[in-house]
């Protein structure tokens, strides 16, 4: 493999100093003769030279790198989140370093340390842990961070999330109108995940003036199916509220397998994966978030936070919508 081209090669080839080439690269044409400019331009084109971002970054003391840490890269919420983030930074000089924590705390930690080593200029974080002290090392770095989807408490960094609590209050009203007796909230490990907690708490808050009871089942629990089956043995009207797409599909699969009919035997609504929910028979009601907009907004906030060196700790809520369908 031949050696990489450097600014010196261009300088030599164009018979100017590298200072002048550097000026050209940075658009400083104020005091440059047209002839020189053209010569450099042609040389660069001819040799197909591209300046090293490594070296530029070293000099500039910032890397033009944005770190993005997601909980699990392989779900649709994340995909769409990344779409929003990527589309934003595409138009800028920043590159995006995406790291997948794979829902593993150690891995997230490792990823964040790598980001620091990469001298990232800012981080978008979907945190796995909700205690701020877990992230103290990051706080100490004073790198701009924007949280997405969830947040640690108390607020240390701004967060861009869905209107989880409010939407669950709305959902509570629907359950009341439809005369449900019991709501079973089905979730992954919920403790400390603010989005999930808010979905649960919003529901409880919305139902606290009614006799409707709320039960939580975490599907990380290996015998959740038995527990759920047990709860379904009643003449009460029961609704299941699945707190994310993955959990929703677990529920659908379980109900199908148990030959429990929706909505006759039990009502069902879940978060995310709206397009698929629509295609089942019966069509499943769902709460549709807007992860792409969450990503875009977070990217925008981060960019401003980097540029203005200003620390915003406000929580931004992106509206989601309840899609009513036959399952409820």
From residue 277, alpha-carbon distances to 76, 175, 211, 280 in Å are 13, 19, 29, 6
Shortest Cβ distance from residue 13 to DNA (Å)? Answer: 12
Q: Is residue 125 at the binding interface for a second copy, with CB under 8 A as the rule? A: no
141 binds DNA (CB under 7 A): no
DSSP E strand boundaries for the chain: 65-70, 95-100, 122-125, 145-148, 159-162, 182-187, 213-218, 238-242, 267-271, 285-288, 315-318, 321-323
CA 113 to chain centre: 19
61 binds DNA (CB under 7 A): yes
Decide the pairing of beta strands 145-148 and 95-100. unpaired
Phi, psi of 134 (to 5 degrees): -65, -30
Q: Which is nearer to DNA, 118 or 326 (CB)?
A: 118
Strand duo 65-70 + 122-125: pairing: parallel
Q: Which stretch binds a second copy (CB under 8 A): 9-17, 26-34, 56-64, 319-327?
A: 56-64
20 touches DNA (CB under 7 A): yes
142 binds DNA (CB under 7 A): no
Does 257 bind a second copy (CB under 8 A)? Our answer is no
Axis-axis angle for helices 7-14, 18-25 (nearest 10): 110
CA–CA dist 111, 277 (Å, integer)? 34
The residues with which 168 forms a beta bridge, in sequence order, are none
Q: Check binding of 58 to DNA (CB under 7 A).
A: yes
Residue located via tokens 């047990």: 230
Q: Count Cβ neighbours within 10 Å for each residue of 30-44 and write b for 16 or more, e otherwise.
A: eeeeeebeebbeebb
Residue 61 within binding range of a second copy, rule CB under 8 A = yes
Report the partner that residue 8 touches, choosing among DNA, a second copy, none (CB closer than 5 to 8 A by kind): DNA
- The residue within the footprint of DNA, chosen from 18, 83, 107, 237 (CB under 7 A), is 18
Q: In the set 1, 2, 27, 35, which binds DNA (CB under 7 A)? A: 35
**DSSP-derived secondary structure letter, 106:** H
- Among 137, 173, 178, 229, the residue binding a second copy under the rule CB under 8 A is 137
Q: By CB under 7 A, which span of 11-19, 71-79, 132-140, 192-200 interacts with DNA?
A: 11-19
Q: How far is the CB of 12 from DNA (least distance, A)?
A: 11
List of residues contacting a second copy (CB under 8 A)? 1-2, 4, 48, 50-55, 57-58, 61, 63, 73-76, 78-80, 82-83, 86-87, 90, 95-100, 102, 107, 110-111, 113-114, 116-119, 137, 140, 142, 249, 252-253, 256, 275-276, 279-281, 292, 309
């Amino acid at each position: 493999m031949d050696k990489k081209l450097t600014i010196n090669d261009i300088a030599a080839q164009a018979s100017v100093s590298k200072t002048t080439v550097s000026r050209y690269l940075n658009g400083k044409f104020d005091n440059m003769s047209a002839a020189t400019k053209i010569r450099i331009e042609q040389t660069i084109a001819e040799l197909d030279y591209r300046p090293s971002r490594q070296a530029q970054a070293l000099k500039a003391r910032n890397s033009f790198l944005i770190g993005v840490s997601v909980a699990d890269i392989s779900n649709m919420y994340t995909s769409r989140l990344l779409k929003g983030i990527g589309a934003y930074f595409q138009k800028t000089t920043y590159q995006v370093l995406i790291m997948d924590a794979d829902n593993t705390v150690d891995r997230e930690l490792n990823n964040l340390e790598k980001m620091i080593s990469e001298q990232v200029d800012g981080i978008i974080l979907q945190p796995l842990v909700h205690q701020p002290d877990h992230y103290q090392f990051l706080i100490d770095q004073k790198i701009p961070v924007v949280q997405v989807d969830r947040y640690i408490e108390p607020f240390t960094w701004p967060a861009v999330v869905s209107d989880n609590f409010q939407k669950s209050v709305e959902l509570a009203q629907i359950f009341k109108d439809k005369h449900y007796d019991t709501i079973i909230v089905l979730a992954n490990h919920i403790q400390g995940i603010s989005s999930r907690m808010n979905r649960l708490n919003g529901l409880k808050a919305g139902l606290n003036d009614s006799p409707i009871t709320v039960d939580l089942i975490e599907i990380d629990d290996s015998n959740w199916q038995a527990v759920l089956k047990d709860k379904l043995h009643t003449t009460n009207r029961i609704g299941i509220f699945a707190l994310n797409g993955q959990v929703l599909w677990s529920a659908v699969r379980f109900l199908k397998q148990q030959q429990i009919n929706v909505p006759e035997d039990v009502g069902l609504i879940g978060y995310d994966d709206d397009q698929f929910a629509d295609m089942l028979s019966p069509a499943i009601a769902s709460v549709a978030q807007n992860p792409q907009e969450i990503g875009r907004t977070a990217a925008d906030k981060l960019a401003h936070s980097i540029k203005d060196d200003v620390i915003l700790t406000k929580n931004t809520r992106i509206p989601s919508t309840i899609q009513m369908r036959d399952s409820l």
